[in-house]
Structure 1
């Protein structure tokens, strides 16, 4: 699993931003600090609450110059619909091939539902040099991050 002080694993993946484009993490370091908010599945209760909480707190992140990305294994088309239905004001990264969740060490299975390799709920903050400066990973899919702690970590990473 990726830890504080590690170089953030680079990735290129589809980006759901109202359209479908691609994003490469290393190309976005100028927009740092970057907040990578992994979530298991669009349209589920806790994931919707989490992404809507980031939406509602977006001004806090914008004030410190942070860029937020949600990341899940859903398709970019489903993620765009999820963005639309919830008025999300930040882009979502589609990791359908599960490479990002594997690289960050945040993959989990919902065995009782027969679903494999979805994202654990996790948040990483990456600074402008590509270093992970904050990491929070939960094995409880019903847990949510401490949003103030994430904002504080992003502000610290900005310096």
Structure 2
């Protein structure tokens, strides 16, 4: 197992594939390259479906609205949960984001966010990575909770600003903000 600080901005993400569950209930094996063919992707690692902190996290992504209101960046969740649980989670929270099932944590390993909670249970550290079409990390946020880094909930405003700085401000989309906040 490697460290848990995550890939460095500017580093290339290794190719991977895993089961991806879409909001429309479609489930298929998808590769990183396939996703990136549609543009940059913001990968958001989280612990498990239906844990209270993960419900809070995905509700904040859903409610922030900019994730769903632009085609400039795709948002994809990644956790250890099984595909059928992902589908229930998507339906329960009315999410518009696909979720990767990373049962063996190989994707977490590829992003250098695989770790053991209290030295016992393997998980992915809560984190977000913006990846461009060349598989390069352009932005990252990694939880740093002193006891359990799965407890940190990503600050959506900070992530919005990070993605916006990397991809540029949208020409007409406000991502749920009024015009004064996006100027």
Query: With structure 2 as the length reference, what TM-score do the two structures score?
Result: 0.78
Alignment RMSD (CA, Å): 1.8
Instruction: Provide the aligned length of Structure 1 versus Structure 2.
Output: 157
Q: Provide runs of 4+ in structure 1 moved above 4 Å.
A: none
C-alpha displacement at 1:133, in angstroms? Answer: 0.6
1:143 has 2:152 as partner: yes
- CA separation in 2, counterparts of 1:72 and 1:117? 11
- CA separation in 1, counterparts of 2:35 and 2:101? 16
Contact kept, 8 Å, 1:61 with 1:151, in 2: the verdict is no
Contact kept, 8 Å, 1:127 with 1:157, in 2: the verdict is no
Contact kept, 8 Å, 1:4 with 1:135, in 2: the verdict is yes
- CA separation in 1, counterparts of 2:138 and 2:59? 24
- CA separation in 2, counterparts of 1:128 and 1:88? 24
Larger Rg belongs to: 2
C-alpha displacement at 1:60, in angstroms? Answer: 4.7
- CA separation in 1, counterparts of 2:67 and 2:55? 19
**Residues 10-89 of structure 1 aligned to structure 2 (within 5 Å):** 10-17=15-22, 18-60=25-67, 62-63=69-70, 65-89=72-96
Could you tell me which runs of 5 or more consecutive residues in structure 1 were left unpaired when the two chains were aligned: none
Higher strand share: 1
Q: Deviations over 1:66-124 (max 9, x none)?
A: 10000001111111111111111110000002101111111122348x5x221110000
Could you tell me which runs of 5 or more consecutive residues in structure 2 were left unpaired when the two chains were aligned: 1-5, 169-183
- CA separation in 2, counterparts of 1:103 and 1:66? 21
Equivalent residue for 2:122, pick from 117, 121, 140: 117
